[in-house]
């Protein structure tokens, strides 16, 4: 199925406000997953399974957030210009050439 069609269909089906709520919820879940990973620190179980599970959960939450962000782009418009501006500022702050 076409990704763009699917995302637009979700917005049409659930509505803008509920999808805004969902992006907030998904970002919160990603935040919690990252904080849990940081709390583990060096306290890794002998086989490292807890850290692996934690990293897997973070990847899952990143995917959820990305899907919701893509819906936000459909709702609010393309962010390419904003992203380019922000990346140019980051290049300046890091003291890098734009060629790097």
pLDDT tens digit sequence for 18-55: 999 999 999 999 999 999 988 887 665 655 678 888 99
Domain membership flag for residue 16: yes
Higher pLDDT, 79 or 97: 79
Domain membership of residue 17 as a residue range: 3-94
99 falls within a domain: no
Residues, the chain: 100
Furthest CA-CA distance within the chain: 48
**Residue 8 included in any domain:** yes
Residue 18, in any domain of the structure: yes
Average pLDDT over residues 70-94: 98
Q: Is residue 30 part of a domain?
A: yes
What pTM was estimated for this model as a whole? 0.87
Which pLDDT score is estimated for 1? Answer: 87
Q: Is the pLDDT of residue 94 over 80?
A: yes
pLDDT of residue 10: 98
Domain count, the chain: 1
Among 74, 37, 72, residue whose Cα is nearest residue 57: 37
């Amino acid at each position: 199925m076409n990704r763009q069609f699917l995302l637009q269909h979700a917005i049409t089906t659930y509505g803008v406000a509920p999808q805004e709520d969902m992006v907030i919820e998904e970002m919160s879940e990603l935040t919690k997953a990252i904080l849990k990973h940081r709390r583990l620190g060096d306290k890794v179980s002998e086989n490292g399974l807890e850290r692996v599970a934690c990293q897997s959960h973070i990847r899952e939450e990143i995917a959820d957030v990305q899907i919701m962000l893509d819906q936000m782009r459909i709702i609010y418009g393309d962010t390419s210009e904003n992203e380019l501006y922000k990346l140019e500022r980051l290049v300046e702050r890091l003291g890098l050439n734009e060629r790097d």
